Structure 1
Amino acid sequence: MTYVKMPKSLEDSGGESTQTKWNVCGSGSILCSKVDADESYALFGGKGVEVNIWDLNQCAKVWSAKSPAKNSLGIFTPTWFTSATFLCKDDHRKFVAGTNSHQVRLYDISAQRRPVVSFDFRETPIKAVAEDVDGHTIYIGNGSGDLASFDIRTGQLLGSFLGKCSGSIRSIVKHPELPVIASCGLDSYLRIWDVKSRQLLSAVFLKQHLNSVVFDSKFSTREAQVPPQQQDTYEALQTEEEEEKTVKCKKASKEHSGSKKLKTKKKI
C-alpha cells in the first residue's frame, strides 16, 4: 500500500460521503500509521518508506525523516519501520517509531530529521509501540512476545512485564485513566497488565489472531435502568425458577429417604 484514502466531512460533500486519495510514497509498502489526537496530522512509515508526517487538512507532506548514518563498521541499515505512535496528545512534533531491526527511535521534527534518541530492544522486530499519558514513558512489544516499558528521554529500561506472551505482540494501548495497559497478538490472547507492578491481571483467549486493541473511553460501569414492566417480568421469572428448584429439592430428598428405608428393611 502506497496511498491513503481519507473521507471528507458530510457538510463539504453536500450530505454524501466522499474520499480523498493521495500517494504517500513512490515505492515501498506502508506498514504503520498513526493520527494525532486532533486528527490534523498523520504519520506513515514502512518497508522502504521513511517515516513522514502529513497535514490532513491540506493533504500535504510537512516533514520526512532522514536515514541514520552508517554504523562503525560502515554498514547501512535498510529502512523498515514496523510501528509508530505520537508521544504526546497535544504535540505532533515528537513521535516514536519501531523498526524491523529491533530498534526504537525518538524523532523531534522541530530539531532534526534524524532520530534524537535510538536504542535496541532484544533481538526481534518491534511490532507494537504505545505512549503513556505522562509524555515520556513508552511500552514496547516485539515479535517474540516480550513486553517492556522505557523512559524515552534517556532510552532507559524501566522494567519488563512478567509473564511472557507465546506469540508476537501486535498492539498495545494504555488506559486513559487507570494504571493498566492492554496487549494482544498472534497467540490469540487479550491481556491486561498493571503498569506499576508489571504483573499480569487478566488474560482472555479469543480463538483467533489479534491485530489491534483499544479502550472504550465512553464505557460506563453503571447498570442500565430497566423499565418497570420488564423489571416485574424479570422478578416473576426469578420467583418461578426458585419455586421449581425448591420442588425438585423436596422430591430428591423424599426419594433419598425412601431408598434409605428400603435398605434398612432388607438388612433386617
Structure 2
Amino acid sequence: MQLEEFSFQYNGASIFGKHTQPEEVKGVVVVIHGMGGHSGRYLEHVVPMLLKCSLAVVLYDNIGHGKSEGKRGHCPSYDGLLNIITRVLIKAETLFPTKPLFLYGHSMGGNLVLNYALRKSPNIRGVIATSPYLRLAMVPPKWKMIMGKIMMTIWPAITLPSGLDPKGISSISNEVEKYINDPLTHDKVSPMYTFPVINAGEWAIEQANQLKIKTLLLHGTADSIIDYKGTVDFHDNASVTELKLFEGGYHELHYDLCRDEMLETVKNWLQQQL
C-alpha cells in the first residue's frame, strides 16, 4: 500500500492527511476517526478492504489528534470539525474528479459524518457510520456534567482525562494493549470537544427523518462506550438507512471478533451503491 501525505492549515493548525488508491478507481472514501484515535488505526484492516473494492481512500487526523497540530483533545468549535470535512472532501474531489464520494466515520467520526450529511446535504453517494457517537453508553455523574458546562463557559479549552475505559474498544485483550501503547492515541478531551458533540448526537437522532443520503449504520450490542440504542433510534427515525447490529460486538468492530463479518458487510453495501 502506497500512501501519499498532504496537509492544510485550519485555525492556525496544520491538519495531516494521506491518501492511497487501487489500480482502478471506482470511487473515493473519506475516513474519519474517533475521539482520541487517529487515521492510522484504519490502515490494517479497513483500508485494504476498501482498496479491494476499487475505492481510493483519503484519511486525516482531526485537529488535536494524531499527527495534526492543536492541543490534544481540543477543537475550536463543532462547526470547525464540519468545515475540516469540507476541506478534505475538496481534496478528495481534486485528487479523483468525477468519482463518487463516500464518508466513513467511526464513533465521533460517525457523529460527524451523520451531522455533515444532515446539515450540509453534500453531493456524495453514501455514508457509513460505525459505532456512531450519538449517545454515551454511561451517563456521566450529574456533578461532572454541571462542572463541565461551567468550564465550557469560562475555560472551554481545558483538557481532562475522558474517563473512558480502553477495555471497551475490543473483546480481544491484545488489541486493547496495542491501543493503550499506541503513541498517537490519547484520552484527553476538552469541554468544547465534549458538549457540542453530545448535543449534535441527540440533534442527529431527532433530525434523522431529514436524511436524504443512503447510509449504513453498524454497531455492537456490547459497546460499553457508545450506546447502540442511540444508533437504533437514529435508524428508526430515518428512511434511507440500513442497520447491522453485531451481537456481543465491542466499540471498535474492525478490531473485534466480528471484524471479518463487519468488513464484509461494509464491502457488500459499498458494491451495491457503486
TM-score, normalised to structure 1's length?
0.29
Q: Which has the larger radius of gyration?
A: 1
Q: Which has the higher contact order (CA 8 A, sep 6+)?
A: 2
Higher strand share: 1
Pick the structure with more helix per residue.
2
